[in-house]
Structure 1
Amino acid sequence: MITTYSGWQQSNGTIVVGAYVANLVENGGQCTVTVDGPAGAHFTSSRNAVADAKTTACGQLAVAVQTSGTWKASVQYSSATSRGTSSVVEVVVP
């Protein structure tokens, strides 16, 4: 799992993360972003992954949050034949 970007989107109050699965081309899998924040806050959001020419794309995953602070986010991929987890990234919500 490769995280391509992450950040705070003030316009709609969401943490956004983009990711893809390297060296795997398949449809039918699911990407889930998990964000953990201040005071034990924990949220997830999922979407279907899509195969492209050389990878399996998660696209942009978004989670609405209302608490300021540093959040930790990671993306997990799961299908009938494959699993993977990205490195953790930090997102600061002002």
Structure 2
Amino acid sequence: MANSPQAKKRAKQAEKRRNHNASLRSMVRTYIKNVIKAIDAKDLEQAKTAYIAAVPVIDRMADKGIIDKNKAARHKSRLNAHIKAMAEAA
């Protein structure tokens, strides 16, 4: 446990940041899930709009360091590949 006033403050700040970052990570996952749901439902238009909404959020979280930039690129690439495959099949 933190003993000095400085350590107590740092522990409080770390907990506050951890909660905030967890909230942001959860938001990114929700946007990704929305795209996946639309893809699973084979709804091309809904998938495209969900993807367009998700991309800036994914990029923003990568810029902030909430998720790694390679993870962000991987998610965008895979989601886009699914949407393109749906469009070709239709």
TM-score (norm 2): 0.24
When you count strand as a share of all residues, which structure comes out higher? 1
Q: Which has the higher Rg, Structure 1 or Structure 2?
A: 2
Instruction: Work out which structure has the larger RCO, using CA pairs closer than 8 Å and 6 or more positions apart in sequence.
Output: 1
TM-score (norm 1): 0.23
When you count helix as a share of all residues, which structure comes out higher? 2
